[in-house]
């Protein structure tokens, strides 16, 4: 492969990275919002994401059954799936907060480890509950998304790039969701309350904001975004398992840290950067090293970049440097 | 109320022992004995009585286990006595040592030589306990959250796995084709300590400049990096043999041990010859015990040393510790290296025991499991790390599996439970497969109801109580 060839595939690689980046960005927002408000790495968020993907899959199977479709238009079906996944995942995130994290907060433990271990416990629990569900209902571990020709049609774009219709949908939906979230956080009353609680929970409470309600709604918003991202992820990569959330969740969290955790634009940018890093390294590493270090090392590349960045900028790209209170 | 506990415990224990001796095959007597162990350990009774009762219970349970080596409940009872003997306050050291030696070196081998599952369980507990002890130094004592701890275990395992198998000859010219003979394991256990400690320092150098959650995510990332390398270094040089893993890894010779067992008449006692598998089970059981013994000893000495106090100071307040002249980075690196060394040495043993090393064993999942052992047992507490590892292992490969078997028998015989015919139970519901579900539930409930862990560290317990009081005073309007 010549240098010219390498450049020729650059736009296509960039496009694939963009799709992946948007999915990461949407999941990363869930992590970053919860972290901003509670200072907690919500490990269960990756399972909220995975459950969104499963809900989408069930909507596709239930209303889009090929023999007797209730909704025959694939675009409408996808819209229904997105709405249901957003609601389902949002509620799931709220339930997790209500029954696992709130009791800890009420007890006033100061350790950061206690809520984090709880989050890991919730994540295990949700994984296996989904596994039981998949075993009982589908009698197998892997669940396949239904594919529609209308969504898989390949479109030609300039610069020798191609994109499937579903790719365009992913981009459009993610951009809409991200704009919506930015509006919500910066322009609405709820957004103001969320920002207040994340800055100082006690002072916010003194100003007449109920932190519990706001935290609950933060989880709702983050969970819904995760659910939508889950459906988009399932649509793009078609295979969903109870453990599908783990790796994207990890990457999304890495994106959030990359952008500066707790910072909403940072999470978006971090997700997009990580998506690019991963696809670029996945595509070019094999060529650059004569096939000795292949695509498998893309995660190494992503994590090492994170380590390097944190060494020079410990607060992430957009993070503010908070000095330690003594 | 308290007045009645002592006579009640006495009567209950006497009855259950009597029952066990009269009807040794009855499951109910086993259960009664388990309850007695609990009562004797946790109830308010005088210390001399406690020691005596524990000894009698251990003897009874050993007899039961000798009569029926498949009696797992009796085995769990013995584990309970062991834990009680080592962790209860007010017992004399003589009693502790006597009970410990009797259970570990007489009772378990007596049953284990006929039912090697008991050895297997003991070995697994030992391996996980060493990992938990290692991570306990890092997270519990020094307060550094490490989410990629399995990496050090992997380094230890690969250190012996590569050189104790035909693998090394794949990339080193003139290396013995079958790898180094098994007896080199002892040398490589020492080398594994060194390689793991060096890796600890290498990972720690960049990571330890960060704090809290950043440290967590970076260690997690670096742990994954180690796994990805293990998974893919089959080219350009075949060092780890990639995802297929390395096999067969050589094991040390057990000839002398077999001779010894024959000499003391073990064959006559058990009515069957001492063959290689059982000799190996026994050998690794002893080896793991030895390693755990060393690790615990080193850990206790370190925890009470200048370094141990420096770790606690850093954990409690980094800035204050720095102000008092504690060198932060060297102390933290030492904690990382110590923890890594503990799991590295066990990694080498693990490789030899499994005769197989593959990246599968060192996933993020493994790291999180180790962390959970530590949290479950009680952060910072040495006894807690061991008990946490033991409890989860017994639950995973003991109790859940038994429960699955029980459900299967019910399914086959079609028993009615609460009006539900068990034959209709879907075959997918197999509790042994859902260990994570149970594990997750336990983690959540523990964090809500007993965040200080099963065996809390004294200092940590005091802190949590303080926080709870503050919360009550603040919220009790």
Q: Do B443 and A254 touch (CB under 8 A)?
A: no
Our count of domains for chain B comes to: 2
- DSSP-derived secondary structure letter, A195: H
Q: Where are the beta strands (DSSP E) in B341-456?
A: 416-417, 420-421
pLDDT at residue A188 above 50? yes
Q: Contact A82/A56 with Cβ under 8 angstroms?
A: yes
Q: A108 in helix, strand or coil? A: coil
State whether residue B371 sits within 8 Å of chain A by CB: yes
- Confidence band, pLDDT 50/70/90 cuts, at residue A1: low
Task: Give the residue-averaged pLDDT of A124-130.
Answer: 89
Residue A216 has pLDDT above 80, yes or no: yes
Helix, strand, coil % in chain A, rounded to nearest 5: 75, 5, 20
Residues of B in contact with A307 (CB under 8 A): 206-207, 218, 221-222
Chain A residues lying within 8 Å of B216, measured CB to CB: 41, 116
Q: What is the pLDDT of residue B282?
A: 86
Rounded CA gap, A147 and B234, in Å?
36
Instruction: Taking residues A11-31, report their average pLDDT.
Output: 87
B97 or B472, greater pLDDT: B97
Distances (CA, A) of B100 to B55, B94, B108, B240: 10, 10, 11, 40
A111 chain-B contacts, CB cut-off 8 A: 451
pLDDT: is B169 or A176 the higher one? A176
Last residue of one domain, picked from the residues B68, B88, B114: B114
Average pLDDT over residues B198-215: 84
Residue A90: per-residue pLDDT = 92
Residue B229 lies in a domain: yes
pLDDT top residue among B75 and B471: B75
pLDDT band at B477; cut points 50, 70, 90: very low
Shared domain check, B151 and B81? no
- Beta strand residue intervals within A41-165, DSSP E: 143-144, 154-157, 161-164
Q: Kindly state whether residue B443 falls inside one of the protein's structural domains.
A: no
Domain shared by B59 and B169, yes or no: no
Whether B68 maps to a domain, the answer reads yes
B3 and B143 assigned to the same domain = no
What single DSSP character describes residue B305?
S
Strand partners, A155: A163
Average pLDDT over residues B427-454: 79
Q: Which domain holds residue B334?
A: 118-386
What's the ipTM?
0.82
Question: Is B466 inside a domain boundary?
Answer: no
**Cβ-based neighbour number of residue B210 at 10 Å:** 19
Mean pLDDT computed over every residue of chain A: 83
Q: Is A246 exposed, middle or buried (0-12, 13-18, 19+ CB in 10 A)?
A: buried
Predicted pLDDT of residue A320 = 65
Size of interface A-B (CB pairs under 8 A): 148
**Which of residues B89, B114, B139 is at a domain's end?**
B114
Same domain, B55 and B160: no
Tell whether B97 and B164 lie within a shared domain.
no
Label residue B476 by pLDDT band (50, 70, 90): very low
pLDDT digit string, tens, across residues B78-99: 888 888 877 777 777 788 888 8
Predicted local distance difference test score (pLDDT) of residue A326? 46
Q: Whole-angstrom Cα distance, residue B219 to residue B371?
A: 13
Using a CB–CB cutoff of 8 Å, tell me whether B471 touches chain A: yes
Q: Are residues B148 and B102 in the same domain?
A: no
CA triple B121-B125-B130, angle to 5 deg: 150
CA distance A24 to B450: 35
Q: A131-152: buried (b, 16+ CB within 10 Å) or exposed (e) per residue?
A: bbbbbeeeeeeebebbebeebe
104-123 in chain A: CB under 8 A from chain B: 104, 106-118, 120-123
SS3 A45: helix
Cis peptide before B45 (omega within 30 of 0): no
- Residue B22 has a pLDDT of 74
Residues B140 and B241 in one domain: yes
Contacts of A129 in chain B (CB under 8 A): 437
**In this complex, is the C-beta atom of A304 within 8 Å of any C-beta atom belonging to chain B?**
yes
- Least reliable range by pLDDT among A106-115, A171-180, A278-287: A106-115
Residues B160 and B103 in one domain: no
Give the per-residue pLDDT at B419. 67
What's chain B's average pLDDT? 82
Among chain B residues, CA nearest to A102: B448
In terms of domains, do B322 and B216 share one?
yes
The pLDDT-based confidence of B100 (bands split at 50, 70, 90) is: confident
> Touching check for A189 and chain B: CB below 8 Å?
no
Q: Are residues B229 and B188 in the same domain?
A: yes
Let me know whether B142 and B86 are in one domain: no
Which residues contact residue B437 at a Cβ distance below 8 angstroms, ignoring those fewer than 6 apart?
A124, A125, A128, A129, A132
Q: Does A303 touch chain B (CB under 8 A)?
A: yes
Query: Omega into B248 within 30° of 0, i.e. cis?
Result: yes
Residue B79 counted as domain residue = yes
Residue B453 lies in a domain: no
Which positions ≥6 away from B186 have C-beta within 8 Å? B252
Structure pTM? Answer: 0.85
Residue B418 lies in a domain: no
Do A117 and B372 touch, CB atoms closer than 8 A?
yes
Contact B35, B28 (CB under 8 A): no
Total residue count of chain A as it appears in this document: 326
Nearest C-alpha neighbor of A218 from the set A308, A97, A74, A51: A97
Q: What is the pLDDT of residues B57-68, one digit of tens each?
A: 888 888 887 777
What are the angstrom distances between the C-alpha of B291 and each of B102, B129, B164, B297, B344?
19, 10, 19, 10, 11
Confidence of residue B151 (pLDDT cuts 50, 70, 90): very high
- B415 in Cβ contact with B422 (< 8 Å): yes
For the residues B322-347, what does the mean pLDDT come to? 92
Single residue among B68, B99, B114 that ends a domain in this structure = B114
Do B34 and B55 belong together in one domain?
yes
Burial class (CB in 10 A: 0-12, 13-18, 19+), B212: middle
Q: What is the mean pLDDT of residues A282-311?
A: 79
Q: How many CB atoms lie within 10 A of CB B435?
A: 19
Distance CA(A313)–CA(A294), nearest Å, equals: 29
A71-86: burial string, b at 16+ Cβ within 10 Å, e else? beebeebbebbbbbbb
Is B431 inside a domain boundary?
no
- Bigger pLDDT: A109 or B145? B145
Lowest mean pLDDT: which of A23-32, B433-442, B451-460?
A: B451-460
Q: A313 to chain B: nearest residue by CA?
A: B210
B91 with B51: CB under 8 angstroms? yes
Distance of alpha carbon B14 from alpha carbon B81, whole angstroms: 16
**Rounded to an integer, what distance in angstroms lies between the CA atom of residue A315 and that of residue A170?**
30
Residue of A nearest to B218 (CA): A307
pLDDT at A324: 47
| Mean pLDDT of all residues in B21-38 | 76
């Amino acid at each position: 492969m010549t240098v010219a060839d390498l450049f020729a595939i650059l736009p296509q690689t960039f496009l694939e990275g963009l799709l992946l980046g948007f999915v990461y960005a949407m999941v990363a927002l869930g992590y970053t919002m919860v972290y901003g408000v509670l200072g907690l790495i919500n490990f269960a968020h990756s399972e909220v994401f995975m459950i969104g993907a499963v809900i989408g899959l069930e909507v596709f199977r239930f209303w889009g059954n090929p023999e007797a479709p209730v909704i025959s238009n694939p675009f409408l079906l996808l819209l229904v799936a997105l709405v249901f996944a957003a609601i389902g995942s949002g509620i799931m995130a709220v339930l997790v907060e209500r029954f696992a994290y709130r009791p800890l907060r009420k007890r006033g433990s100061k350790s950061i480890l206690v809520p984090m271990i709880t989050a890991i416990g919730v994540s295990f629990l949700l994984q296996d509950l989904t596994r039981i569900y998949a075993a009982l209902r589908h009698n197998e571990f892997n669940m396949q998304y239904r594919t529609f020709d209308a969504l898989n049609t390949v479109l030609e774009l300039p610069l020798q790039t191609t994109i499937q219709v579903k790719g365009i949908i992913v981009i459009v939906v993610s951009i809409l969701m991200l704009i919506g979230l930015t509006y919500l956080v910066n322009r609405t009353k709820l957004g103001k309350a969320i920002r207040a609680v994340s800055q100082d929970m006690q002072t916010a409470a003194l100003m007449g904001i109920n932190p519990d309600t706001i935290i609950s709604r933060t989880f709702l918003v983050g969970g819904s975004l995760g659910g939508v991202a889950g459906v988009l992820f399932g649509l793009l990569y078609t295979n969903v398992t109870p453990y599908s959330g783990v790796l994207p969740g990890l990457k999304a969290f890495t994106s959030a840290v990359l952008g500066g955790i707790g910072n909403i634009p940072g999470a978006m940018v971090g997700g997009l950067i990580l998506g690019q890093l991963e696809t670029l390294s996945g595509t070019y590493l094999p060529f650059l090293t004569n096939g000795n270090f292949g695509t498998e090392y893309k995660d190494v590349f992503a994590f090492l970049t994170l380590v390097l960045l944190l060494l020079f900028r410990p607060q992430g790209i957009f993070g503010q440097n908070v000095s330690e209170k003594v | 109320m308290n007045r009645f506990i002592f006579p009640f415990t006495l009567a209950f224990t006497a009855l259950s022992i009597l029952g066990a001796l009269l009807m040794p095959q009855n499951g109910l007597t086993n259960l009664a004995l388990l309850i007695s162990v609990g009562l004797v350990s946790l109830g308010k009774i005088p210390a001399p009585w406690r020691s005596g009762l524990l000894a009698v219970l251990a003897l009874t349970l050993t007899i039961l286990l000798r009569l029926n080596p498949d009696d797992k409940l009796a085995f769990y009872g013995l584990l309970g006595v062991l834990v009680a003997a080592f962790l209860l306050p007010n017992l004399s050291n003589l009693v502790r040592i006597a009970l410990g030696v009797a259970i570990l070196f007489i009772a378990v081998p007596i049953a284990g030589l006929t039912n090697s599952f008991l050895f297997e369980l003991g070995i697994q507990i030992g391996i996980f306990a060493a990992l938990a002890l290692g991570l306990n130094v890092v997270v519990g004592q020094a307060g550094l959250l490490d989410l990629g701890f399995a990496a050090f275990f992997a380094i230890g395992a690969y250190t012996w796995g590569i050189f104790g198998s035909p693998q090394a000859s794949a990339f080193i010219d003139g290396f013995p084709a079958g790898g180094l003979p098994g007896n080199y394991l002892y040398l490589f256990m020492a080398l594994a300590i060194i390689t793991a400690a060096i890796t600890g320092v290498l990972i720690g150098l960049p990571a330890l400049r960060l704090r809290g959650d950043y440290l967590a995510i970076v260690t997690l990332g670096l742990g994954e990096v180690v796994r990805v390398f293990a998974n893919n270094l089959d080219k350009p040089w075949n060092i780890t043999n990639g995802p297929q893993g390395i096999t067969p890894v050589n094991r040390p010779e057990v000839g002398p041990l077999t001779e010894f067992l024959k000499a003391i008449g073990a064959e006559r006692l058990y009515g069957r010859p001492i063959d290689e598998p059982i000799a190996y089970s026994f050998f690794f059981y002893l080896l793991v015990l030895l390693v755990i013994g060393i690790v615990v000893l080193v850990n206790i000495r370190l925890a009470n040393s200048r370094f141990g106090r420096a770790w606690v100071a850093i954990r409690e307040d980094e800035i204050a510790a720095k102000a008092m002249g504690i060198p932060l980075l060297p102390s933290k690196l030492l904690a990382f290296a110590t923890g890594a060394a503990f799991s590295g040495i066990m990694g080498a043993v693990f490789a030899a025991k499994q005769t197989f090393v593959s990246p599968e064993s060192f996933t993020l999942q493994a790291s999180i499991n180790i962390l959970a052992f530590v949290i479950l047992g009680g952060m910072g507490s040495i006894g807690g790390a061991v008990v946490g590892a033991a409890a989860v292992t017994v639950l995973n490969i003991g109790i859940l599996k038994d429960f699955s078997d029980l459900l299967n028998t019910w399914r086959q015989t079609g028993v009615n439970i609460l009006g539900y015919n068990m034959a209709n139970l879907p075959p997918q519901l197999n509790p042994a497969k859902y260990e994570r579900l149970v594990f997750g539930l336990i983690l959540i409930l523990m964090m809500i109801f007993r965040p200080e862990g099963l065996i809390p560290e004294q200092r940590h317990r005091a802190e949590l109580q303080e926080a709870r009081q503050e919360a009550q005073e603040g919220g009790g309007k």
